[in-house]
Chains A and B, each alone.
Chain A
């Protein structure tokens, strides 16, 4: 049952991924300007060279040809025996079908290599942020729901609102100003203001943690804000249920009621929320990465998009689409495991 459902979902997601890549491709080409605009402003580079470079990268071909080539039409036609039709045409060796995302237009390095090199950084930052988020949000939500209306509850509400209202870059800069610059000026041990590790002498666990802590906190702030509210309201609803009242009436200790029964049921919406965050896990917090100079996917995609590096952006977006789809499937699976009431047909 479940397996069939999952297989159907997986099959249905292929057109989604293709559609995402196609729309991204069209959007990128619809924006004003094209590759190498910056070079065009170099008085030493003549327009003839710019045209040559564009041609060499295949940017002068009609859009549908560019897309199909990136997609891997050449490979498909080869396999079905129509390869001779393309003889003589440019083949840039790309091909999504083969899992080859092509070469970046800015430096001709493989897109896959660029993505894979940066993926661990983004995954590290995002997953630590999510873990911090869960570890802080759940207790905060539980406490808030148990002590409704108290000063603690109001304080936690205030923190939630602040977390959503405060811009991430501002918070990041304030933390840097305080914990890096000011601490350094006052002679205290200070946190590094950017990067993954200290160049030259860094790289050990403590150094990496010191670099990780501020960006992870900034990124998790929003999660804490939102998830604690969800947990709180979900808990409030569950605590009002009959079975909780029954358990209490039967003499179960308050703690067991809360943690064994109420929380496990209240967690379910939170799982969905976290599942929705999975794409974010991959794309990374762009703002946080930018301010802290964290070499992640988000920052790379943003910079390359500005440089009109079509292949890299397309590659990242398609990869993200695949992961989103997979992530959603996983979240649904987890949901079914956690909640026996759910049955898929």
Chain B
């Protein structure tokens, strides 16, 4: 950094004072004390922003007993791994159901029900897995390869065609067979190289065959076992579900890694992310993801530690580059114009305003949390003067009315995002202001989310959209950038077509080995960032409040929802 950490810290403190000068905190303590206290919090913040995994994960010796209450803003919907669709259900399902493998915070695979990481043969089509012999279901039955085969049968076989799993078409298209060569050995065969298979399906939660095979297939979609399963393999077993209110789980004593320290784990439904911060302060919940706007107010809470880490997500702008869809495409088809537009946005400042400091400027088209992420050579740091000269050089000069134009087309367009999302609504304002200062005429228009999705993925009648994407484990970006992903419900709304990109995307799916894929996706990131068909803005952070009495709650980028392999070692210091 050009300035010392102290200088930057004091600048932030000054900003903090002007914005929050009426807070009791400052009046009651002296300014010096306030500054020290703030620097202490600031240090933690700087530390948290330095690492991708906020807070050093600790595993200390635990005390048995007690419970924790986790607050989330929605209720579970379906815990069955073959139907899983939302993050809150993933949290609870991950505690109840184990898979062959699990993941650590950095997306490294770790064995779970498998004794070691399953291997792939050199043909890239055959996978071998060996299972532990000591893992049991909560009713005492052993977990065997038959359970795995059955779980996959539910998603592929004809007799279960009424089971509405979201994976059905992908598996029937790509999976050739799953066989149990003996009670603890499995062989998966895909029809062709199916790169997504490992990280999408090998870790899938497994269902107990001896329970589910007894059900009539037509009833599987709606059985209450989907929400309150009776026989599980995970560290906690469901007790009850008070709809809309809470989900209670108790320790599963037959868990193969060992008994968890906690007696109970309770998921509490809280109205919104701000209420989560309130309940963290009052102690009604022990852990929860709070809204970034509450980050500063939680600094003064004595009973809470704040944990922030970069999420696998990014925000980006989607300009419409298809002249057949909008005349404004004339503005966006020139890469230099797009680069100028990105250069004109002070993304650090925007992140401070919009995310209250809890986001980082994007340095690639995929987030830092992903294992294939690289910081590309092409970067677009903020430089308003440079942006102006880039636009001049591209022929977009300011007219007498102050608006840039070229060949009679003014640089004026409408920027949309989804209404009701406070962060995005503020973001488009900030961006529009930056561009209007540059000599453009940008208006903002938040619209309903379903409309936005239709416009982006079907009709493509928009000028520019701001959206965020939550990324999964697999690095594949076909839905986002392939030329076949335009207008048919997929997400390449800009209409970007580049055969080299298509080629790299399909190559990335031809290999199973992560190292090989990383090389290909690195090339893809370099290419996309150098052409900038989309304007990747920020990587937002997840902000957790963790009560000081809770230890070993090591949430991280890929250990937020379902994967929490350390959870059986979470404990509370007061044993309550």
Contact = CB atoms under 8 A, between A and B. Distances in A.
B469 A41 contact: yes
Contacts of B272: 290
Given A48-B169, A109-B224, A295-B269, A195 B246 contact: yes
Interface in B25-61: none
Interface string A313-338: 00000000000000000000000000
A295 B243 contact: yes
Interface in B448-470: 448-451, 453-454, 457, 467, 469-470
A27 to B, nearest CB: 15
Contact of B170 (A49, A196, A200): A49
B469 A53 contact: no
B516 to A, nearest CB: 21
Contacts of B67: 200
Given A47-B488, A184-B281, A52 B243 contact: no
Contacts of A293: 269-271, 275
B282 interface: yes
Given A40-B457, A43-B480, A107-B227, A118 B243 contact: yes
Given A37-B453, A43-B480, A192-B282, A199 B490 contact: no
Interface in B472-523: 472, 474, 477, 479-480, 488-491
B227 A109 contact: yes
Contact of B74 (A198, A292, A303, A308): A303
A295 B245 contact: yes
B246 A33 contact: no
A265 interface: no
A194 B453 contact: no
Nearest to B284: A192
Interface in B270-308: 270-272, 275, 278-279, 281-284
Contact of B275 (A31, A107, A194, A196): A194
Contacts of A291: 271, 275
A106 interface: yes
B268 to A, nearest CB: 5
A33 B448 contact: yes
B450 A193 contact: no
B226 A108 contact: yes
Contact of A199 (B268, B454, B480): B268
B69 A200 contact: yes
B78 A32 contact: no
Given A190-B282, A193-B275, A299-B244, A33 B451 contact: yes
A106 B77 contact: yes
B242 interface: yes
Interface in A24-51: 31-34, 37-51
A117 interface: yes
B126 interface: no
B124 interface: no
B400 interface: no
A104 B471 CA distance: 28
A23 interface: no
Given A109-B227, A192-B282, A193-B282, A34 B450 contact: yes
B266 interface: yes
Interface in B65-99: 67, 69, 74, 76-78, 83, 85
B282 A292 contact: no
A181 B300 CA distance: 12
Interface size band for B: 35 or more
Contacts of A68: none
B266 A199 contact: yes
Nearest to B278: A193
B166 A40 contact: no
Interface string A259-289: 0000000000000000000000000000000
A302 to B, nearest CB: 11
B248 A53 contact: no
Q: How large is the interface on A (under 10, 10 to 19, 20 to 34, 35 or more residues)?
A: 35 or more
Given A40-B453, A118-B243, A192-B282, A52 B264 contact: no
Given A49-B169, A193-B284, A293-B271, A33 B243 contact: no
B518 to A, nearest CB: 19
A93 to B, nearest CB: 9
Contacts of A300: 243-244
Nearest to A104: B77
B535 to A, nearest CB: 17
B377 interface: no
B201 to A, nearest CB: 12
A280 B47 CA distance: 51
B286 to A, nearest CB: 10
B560 interface: no
Contact of A46 (B170, B222, B275): B170
A296 B85 CA distance: 24
A39 B490 contact: no
Interface string B250-275: 00000000000000101011111001
A32 B450 CA distance: 7
A165 to B, nearest CB: 24
A31 B76 CA distance: 26
Looking at B264, B470, B479, which has the most chain A CB atoms within 10 Å of its CB?
B479
B221 interface: yes
A212 interface: no
A292 B69 CA distance: 17
A233 to B, nearest CB: 37
Interface string A176-190: 100011001100001
B28 to A, nearest CB: 12
> A114, A185, A290, A292 — which one has the most chain B CB atoms within 10 A of its CB?
A185
Interface string A193-226: 1111011100000000000000000000000000
Given A38-B449, A39-B85, A295-B242, A199 B69 contact: yes
Contacts of B210: none
A200 B222 contact: no
A191 B389 CA distance: 59
A47 B490 contact: yes
A33 B472 contact: no
Given A33-B448, A193-B284, A295-B244, A41 B453 contact: yes
Nearest to A116: B243
Contacts of B200: 44
A45, A57, A190, most chain B CB atoms within 10 A: A45
Given A43-B477, A51-B489, A109-B222, 7 more contacts: A194-B278, A195-B284, A198-B284, A199-B246, A200-B248, A293-B269, A300-B243
Interface of B: 67, 69, 74, 76-78, 83, 85, 164, 166-170, 200, 221-222, 224, 226-227, 242-246, 248, 264, 266, 268-272, 275, 278-279, 281-284, 448-451, 453-454, 457, 467, 469-472, 474, 477, 479-480, 488-491
